[in-house]
Amino acid sequence: MNAVSLRHLHAFRVVAALGGIRRSSESLHRASSAVARSVAALEESLEVQLFERKGRGMLLTAAGEVVRLRAERVEAELLSVRDDALRGQDRGAPKVGGIEALLNERRLQAAALLAEVHHMPTVAHALGASQSAVSQAISRLENMLGQPLFLRTAHGMLPTDAGRRWIGRFERALAELRHIPEDVAALAGVVQGTVTIGALPLARSQLLPAAIAAVLQRHPRLHVSSLESPYGELTAGLLSGRIDFIVGALRSNPDGAFVSRSLFGDKAVLVARAGHPLAARKRMHIGDLEGYPWVLSRPGTPLRESLVEFFRSQGLAPPEPRVETGDLALLRGLLVSSDMLTVVSAHQLHYEIETAQLAVLPFDMPGLERSIGIMTRKGALLAPGARALLDEINTASLLWDRQ
């Protein structure tokens, strides 16, 4: 299947809504032959028939229905950008145009990439276009919206406040566009495309490997991309549609932009090397920890904050770590080769504990319980591949929860 054109998709949506080419041509202010060519081009790119041509009009096929749903979601994002531009229009400013200028995926891609890298030559190279073409694409969007999307600064091209809001919606529209071929293929029983997940530390050792291996065995044409960025970057990607879902320890969601679903509960434990002086103890007291070095997650992470609260509840100052890291490989190496202590989920170091390289120390820490689950964007319509991977995560979590 070829890439889907926003312009062809727009013509298709209008035909689907009005039930015929002739009526749609009037609404679109295009010749009937041009509208018919757009619909035919979309069908050709998706390699499927979207309409049944009948005397009483054009009726959507099953494939047409799934494409219509995505098309409506795409246009809802683009119309919200136009409406926002209209609300923010200053008196005497250039008039905000229709959404026609937004119906160009290359323009939206250029804006999204420039917001990420802040450097127009880099965007041009990534898109295989000239710098002039990228500049014209951004200018066309700005002219239509009546406001600048970017400001030139010493740090490169940075999005304005309005540009940041609108580009997030551009990215969501592009994500919906990417999912259309995947939706159509799933009607024929083929699950394909790329699933992009935000992988928080707790899910990386056992849960995700088991789920990914299972889904790829079932659906060999599926591709999975895992991102291990900081939490803030992952939620930004989830909000923009670049990430399908996040899996790991759940956090609060004060603005209601995300939907969280718990899979199971987990409790952090005190871990050290198997030959650690404390490893032979059958019982421990908090005073036994004094004098040992610590390696901990960075400040602000939920686990670190819970550990701080635990020590304060005991009337003690929290430990000052010698090393702060979110890298599991570094954590593992430090524990195995020193007398350092850490607090972590036993699942994250499952293999090292199973092979007696590391040991869980007999020290209970109330308040270090966490909920492990899935976070999605509110209102998101996941592609078939993402839903298939979620099914495998659900299955794997049932087995993991029993361990």
- b/e burial code for range 46-71 (CB count within 10 A of at least 16 → b): bebebbeeeeeebebbebbebbbebb
At which residue do the structure tokens 């050792």 appear?
Answer: 205
Looking at residue 244, its amino acid is: D
- Position 92 scores a pLDDT of 64
| pLDDT tens digit sequence for 92-106 | 667 888 888 899 999
Give dist(CA 243, CA 223) in Å, integer. Answer: 14
Residue in 209, 199, 201, 206 with CA at minimum distance from that of residue 326: 201
Confidence of residue 175 (pLDDT cuts 50, 70, 90): very high
Give dist(CA 64, CA 240) in Å, integer. Answer: 26
Confidence of residue 256 (pLDDT cuts 50, 70, 90): confident
Cα-only R_g, the chain: 26
Statement: residue 394 has pLDDT above 90: yes
First-residue to last-residue Cα distance in the chain: 43
Q: What token pair was written down for 11?
A: 């013509």
- Position 116 scores a pLDDT of 94
- Determine what percent of the chain is predicted with pLDDT higher than 70: 98
Confidence of residue 216 (pLDDT cuts 50, 70, 90): very high
Statement: residue 402 has pLDDT above 60: no
Statement: residue 57 has pLDDT above 80: no
Q: What is the mean pLDDT of residues 102-126?
A: 95
Statement: residue 400 has pLDDT above 70: no
Give dist(CA 102, CA 109) in Å, integer. Answer: 11
pTM over 0.85: yes
Q: What is the mean pLDDT of residues 371-400?
A: 93
Lowest average pLDDT, out of 89-93, 244-248, 305-309, goes to 89-93
| pLDDT tens digit sequence for 258-278 | 999 999 888 899 999 999 999
Residue in 353, 356, 352, 344 with CA at minimum distance from that of residue 270: 344
- Position 401 scores a pLDDT of 56
**Chain Cα centroid distance, residue 281:** 44
Confidence of residue 163 (pLDDT cuts 50, 70, 90): very high
- Position 83 scores a pLDDT of 92
- Position 244 scores a pLDDT of 97
- Position 179 scores a pLDDT of 97
- Position 140 scores a pLDDT of 94
